[in-house]
Structure 1
């Protein structure tokens, strides 16, 4: 195994284990704090279209964020995981417009918009497991969001949602790994 891949795998295991130890009540509180910080940010307030995702399992929650974006009248697009691990996108029509998909994900039931739809978003909110102070993001390992971020125009607000303890001094990175411009946690929104 490549040394970078090995380092990523070990760090992912450590971070997923730590997430599993967080009490459910605390996850809900953190979800609200993340939503409040993002909804107050000028880049999100000005955005007409926001690309984001539906959190699952022990990921930092996005339910409150989705509610807030919808209440603010934003156009919200969510990912559809394709068989090759790339992402298509579809419009969010509310919680009743989500259906179970592979890998425990919830996806919109609206018509696919195409892989390049993410490029139409004024703000892009992505999941991750860690980020370093240069904006290098560690994901789950499928490369889905690295490909999607590669389609986002330079200068677009791209933000990873994490727990505060997942903002690290450094993360292992390969040449294909994409940087984000910001991180939001339950405590802060930090730009890189």
Structure 2
């Protein structure tokens, strides 16, 4: 549609807004996300997650909350462009610095097919719309990865509350998210915009 904002414009705007978030505000939001994470999954479930970096909402408390609830937490290991490999998160001491400013586990690297074991995948996003269209950073790692996830996986985009928007530009290869997790709104099912409180 003429005049519609491009993905580039959305990315530039959201990254500029995130850069203005104070450390105190980020910490409050991260604590809220960690509190929500205890309700995201069942005991013994496998969860693919990630370590928030560069202004992304959340922090390691998100991952620790999942582990304390009994979940097995897998984190991405980046290589050449393509589907992500994974490794088990065993606490902050199991992480090392990696490319792109990321933190990755020092545990055994598991192949991309491991994503099929996950009941829930927390997906980093700059924004997500109410239909489930996700805006990433543009590298395409998750677009190449999520096709191997199981059909009933719960895909959750983790964003700040003002990053859940009405409509984003969509491309044919984009995989829609089923849920958004925000600090104030908690877990919200997309496609119908109803707040959900999972057991």
**Structure 1 residue ranges without an equivalent (≥5):** none
How far apart are 1:84 and its partner, in Å? Answer: 1.6
Tell me, in whole angstroms, the C-alpha distance in 1 between the residues paired with 2:36 and 2:65: 11
Tell me, in whole angstroms, the C-alpha distance in 1 between the residues paired with 2:188 and 2:79: 31
Q: Conserved in 2, the CA contact under 8 Å of 1:53 and 1:62?
A: no
How far apart are 1:47 and its partner, in Å? Answer: 5.5
Q: Conserved in 2, the CA contact under 8 Å of 1:47 and 1:122?
A: no
Match of 2:193 in 1: none
Shift in alpha-carbon separation, 1:47–1:183, aligned structure 2, 3 A: farther
Structure 2 residue 41 is matched with structure 1 residue 48? no
Once superposed, which parts of structure 1, at least 4 consecutive aligned residues long, lie more than 6 Å away?
A: none
Q: How many residues align?
A: 186
Structure 2 residue 138 is matched with structure 1 residue 141? yes
Match of 1:191 in 2: 189
The root-mean-square deviation of aligned C-alpha atoms, in Å, is: 1.5
Tell me, in whole angstroms, the C-alpha distance in 1 between the residues paired with 2:117 and 2:85: 13
Q: Conserved in 2, the CA contact under 8 Å of 1:89 and 1:113?
A: yes
Structure 2 residue 172 is matched with structure 1 residue 172? no
Superposed counterparts of 1:1-40, under 5 Å: 7-40=6-39
Tell me, in whole angstroms, the C-alpha distance in 1 between the residues paired with 2:111 and 2:189: 29
Shift in alpha-carbon separation, 1:47–1:182, aligned structure 2, 3 A: farther
> Hey, which of these two has a bigger chunk of helix by percent?
1
Tell me, in whole angstroms, the C-alpha distance in 1 between the residues paired with 2:133 and 2:44: 23
Q: Conserved in 2, the CA contact under 8 Å of 1:38 and 1:184?
A: no
Superposed counterparts of 1:96-111, under 5 Å: 96-111=93-108
Tell me, in whole angstroms, the C-alpha distance in 2 between the residues paired with 1:29 and 1:107: 24
Match of 2:147 in 1: 150
Question: Residue 83 of structure 2: which of 66, 74, 86 is its match?
Answer: 86
How far apart are 1:45 and its partner, in Å? Answer: 2.9
Tell me, in whole angstroms, the C-alpha distance in 1 between the residues paired with 2:147 and 2:18: 28
Secondary structure at 1:12 match in 2: helix
Secondary structure at 2:42 match in 1: helix
Structure 2 residue 152 is matched with structure 1 residue 160? no
Q: Conserved in 2, the CA contact under 8 Å of 1:159 and 1:184?
A: yes
The alignment's TM-score, normalised by the length of structure 2, stands at 0.89
